[in-house]
Structure 1
Amino acid sequence: MDILIDGLSATPDDLAHQALVNYGAYTSFRVENGAARGLDLHLARLEQAAVELFGQSPGEVEFRSLMALAVAGRDACWLRVSLFSPEIGHRDPAFVGRPKVMTSVSPAPPPLAHRVRITAVPYEREAPHLKHLATFGLVRARRAARAAGFDDALFVDGAGRVSEGTLWNIGFVRGDRIVWPQAPMLAGVTQAIITRGLPQVGLASETRPIRLDEVGAFDGTFLCNSATPVCPIITIDDVAFANDPPLLAKVEAAWSAQAPQPIADHDHDEGVSRLGR
């Protein structure tokens, strides 16, 4: 794994801070030939997290520049972009300003699975709208699910609403419609990419609250994240889903129909700023 911080080789002090202070946010995705699907969404995620957690953002132009530097010369890889500040610690968390940007590059991982059996657990991530570094609860839930004979865990909030999985979003199928759950959760980039492409493959979508006790009314269900565009869920506890392979193939086609977006901002190289969204 190659790690840079603000474009320079990571120092032991910076890495030690990352290990000891669990405050920050990140996004991660597959890069192919200098481009990534949903890059605009990943950039927006970093921008939001930087402003909310640190009070200032490096901005899109700098994010793009640091990403391009990290993946230069590679045909395909996995890129993680993390935000942190060595000025923020347990005793003094008051710093407000630009966070450091850590880029780490590694080989692209395989999909999470080809089909999964999951169990529902009551859990809500802290600040669920952020992809933050506080992952203790979700790792603990995943370990417990595996120990109980399942592949993974699905989170349900205090009102009984389905929200998200440990490392993924969940979509439900009813007829020719994909239904996404509405609850406090992370708005997944892959979920958004799929939603963008559904009209192109003849499918519709909606987002609404889904209670755990109504999941059996759906025709199928699947999980999705940046490494796994579509993976059928065959059971949620004792509720089984038949899942229609051709329909799930359409969902994956909706994802693949969204072209990768170049990381390098050529317009900016020509003097045109694209900081606005």
Structure 2
Amino acid sequence: MSAAILIDGLPATPDDLAHQALVNYGAYTSFRVENGAARGLDLHLARLEQAAVELFGESPGEAEFRRLMALAVAGREACWLRVSLFSPEIGHRNPTYVGRPKVMTNVSPAPPPLANRVRITAVPYEREAPHLKHLATFGLVRARRAARAAGFDDALFVDGEGRVAEGTLWNIGFIQGDRIVWPHAPMLAGVTQALITRGLPQVGLNRETRPVRLDEVGAFDGAFLCNSATPVCPITAIDDVAFANDPVSLAKVEVAWSAQAPQPIADHDDDEGVSRLGR
């Protein structure tokens, strides 16, 4: 079984970890792995590819991502895998390096869902470069702390135009009859959100993506949050607006997610790799 933290497939050095602790320039993705496979793996790979090119100018490529992921999870039946991109050549004084980033893999036990229901508060906030799952998380952690201190479970971000965007660690979906409405605003497109969208036709639900203003959320029948650790969690209220949340509709959303089969990390044609992953 491999070490918990690897850098380009080798045990992490103190210098590598020191750089990660001191310079938060980079991006990551994280997800549950079971028997060498993960739901939405294609989307996680695409996220890493986009971030690598945008932030560093070059990507290790899908084959290398898969190799390093497989090495990280080898010998484990189930775990949580975080894949991070960084470069020791980039720092506060020297930000101009262009080239292939290092890949850090971190394996840990899978976390439980965020909650089984939440009451949230809306706050004005826009993440920097919101389309990226980057390492600059100060703002969202601060927002969660403030929400908890105010008696809520979490915070919902609203942009400068009053549009609902995303939660601190999750995407939000609204239920309107037989339709799931995803808000359109500067935000991170979630993998779980995409998996649910893929499966909605199978459960008889339609979907729409459009701007949703905070002052119109009371018109919806329900709301839920979703992320890789929490496929569906009902939102009972946004500030003073409460939602009934029909259990049947929420169950359909979860079925839409679960209908998307886990994808093997190892290449289908790599029989040796599949064997190493216990498949």
Contact 2:86–2:103 (8 Å) recurs in 1 = yes
Shift of 1:18: 0.1
1:163-217 Cα shifts (integer Å, max 9, x gaps): 0000000000000100000000000000000000000011110100000000000
Among candidates 229, 237, 243, match of residue 227 of structure 1? 229
Paired residue secondary structure (2:29): strand
Paired residue secondary structure (2:270): helix
2-structure distance, mates of 1:109, 1:220: 26
TM-aligned CA distance change 1:246 to 1:161, over 3 Å: same
**Greater mean deviation of Cα atoms: 45-54 or 267-276:** 267-276
Contact 1:268–1:274 (8 Å) recurs in 2 = no
Shift of 1:276: 27
TM-aligned CA distance change 1:103 to 1:155, over 3 Å: same
Number of the residue aligned with 1:152: 154
Contact 1:25–1:133 (8 Å) recurs in 2 = yes
TM-score of the superposed pair, with normalisation by structure 1: 0.96
Shift of 1:273: 19
TM-aligned CA distance change 1:275 to 1:4, over 3 Å: closer
1-structure distance, mates of 2:42, 2:181: 23
Paired residue secondary structure (1:271): helix
Number of the residue aligned with 2:166: 164
1-structure distance, mates of 2:120, 2:22: 32
Shift of 1:268: 5.8
Contact 1:49–1:130 (8 Å) recurs in 2 = yes
Contact 1:61–1:275 (8 Å) recurs in 2 = no
Q: Give me the identity figure in percent.
A: 91
Number of the residue aligned with 2:189: 187
Shift of 1:269: 6.7
2-structure distance, mates of 1:211, 1:152: 19
1-structure distance, mates of 2:136, 2:31: 19
Shift of 1:246: 1.0
TM-score of the superposed pair, with normalisation by structure 2: 0.95
Shift of 1:28: 0.2
TM-aligned CA distance change 1:258 to 1:271, over 3 Å: closer
Structure 1 runs of 4+ aligned residues shifted over 2 Å read 266-277
1:52-77 Cα shifts (integer Å, max 9, x gaps): 00000000000000000000011100
1:114-167 Cα shifts (integer Å, max 9, x gaps): 000000000000000000000000000000000000000000000000000000
2-structure distance, mates of 1:270, 1:6: 20
2-structure distance, mates of 1:192, 1:60: 20
- Give unpaired runs (5+ residues) of structure 1: none
TM-aligned CA distance change 1:252 to 1:86, over 3 Å: same
Contact 1:155–1:163 (8 Å) recurs in 2 = yes
1:79-115 Cα shifts (integer Å, max 9, x gaps): 0000000000000001000000000000000000000
Shift of 1:50: 0.1
1:2-37 Cα shifts (integer Å, max 9, x gaps): x00000000000000000001000000000110000
Contact 1:60–1:275 (8 Å) recurs in 2 = no
2-structure distance, mates of 1:64, 1:149: 42
Shift of 1:267: 2.9
TM-aligned CA distance change 1:218 to 1:270, over 3 Å: same
Number of the residue aligned with 2:34: 32
Contact 1:87–1:95 (8 Å) recurs in 2 = yes
2-structure distance, mates of 1:202, 1:213: 28
- Give unpaired runs (5+ residues) of structure 2: none
